[in-house]
Amino acid sequence: MRQVKHLLEGKGSQIFSIAPEAQVLEAIKHMAERRVGALLVMRGEQLVGIVSERDYARKVILQGRSSAQTAVSEIMSSPALTVSPDTDVFDCMRLCTDSRIRHLPVVEKNRVVGVISIGDLVKAVIDAQAEQIEQLQRYITS
């Protein structure tokens, strides 16, 4: 099965991040502009957490807090669950399912090298299954 590094080769290693001191409103604007559901919370090169639309909905909106007056550090999930480039796609799927999360920062030698989402993982599994079906069909018909 494919590993995380193979997914990053296909999708790239672009990282969208925000500082923990930033206001939640700024984080939501960044997510909307970039069309992503989460941002890594970084202090320089150090990963300190992750903030998602789900964090916003549950920890700001439902609690009646102000997006403009709440710091990202107050609502982020920390520590963020991470994987390495060598992690198997199925292990990532299991981690996302068991932890009920949708985004996994990819860390190598204490440095963030990318982010994968549940969508990336589902696509990889579907592609692998389609390839396996095609191979079986060729085997059966030959």
Give which of 3, 14, 66 is closest to 39, Cα–Cα: 14
Fold of 4-141: CBS-domain (3.10.580)
Domain coordinates in residue numbering, the chain: 4-141
| pLDDT averaged per 10 residues in sequence order, the chain, 142 residues | 89 92 96 96 96 94 91 95 95 95 95 94 88 83 82
Contact 94, 49 (CB under 8 A): no
Query: What is the Cα gyration radius of the chain?
Result: 18
What was the pLDDT predicted at 1?
62
Global confidence as pTM: 0.86
Taking the C-alpha atoms of 105, 58, 35 and 26 in order, what is their torsion angle to the nearest 10 degrees? -90
Whats the size of the chain, residue-wise? 142
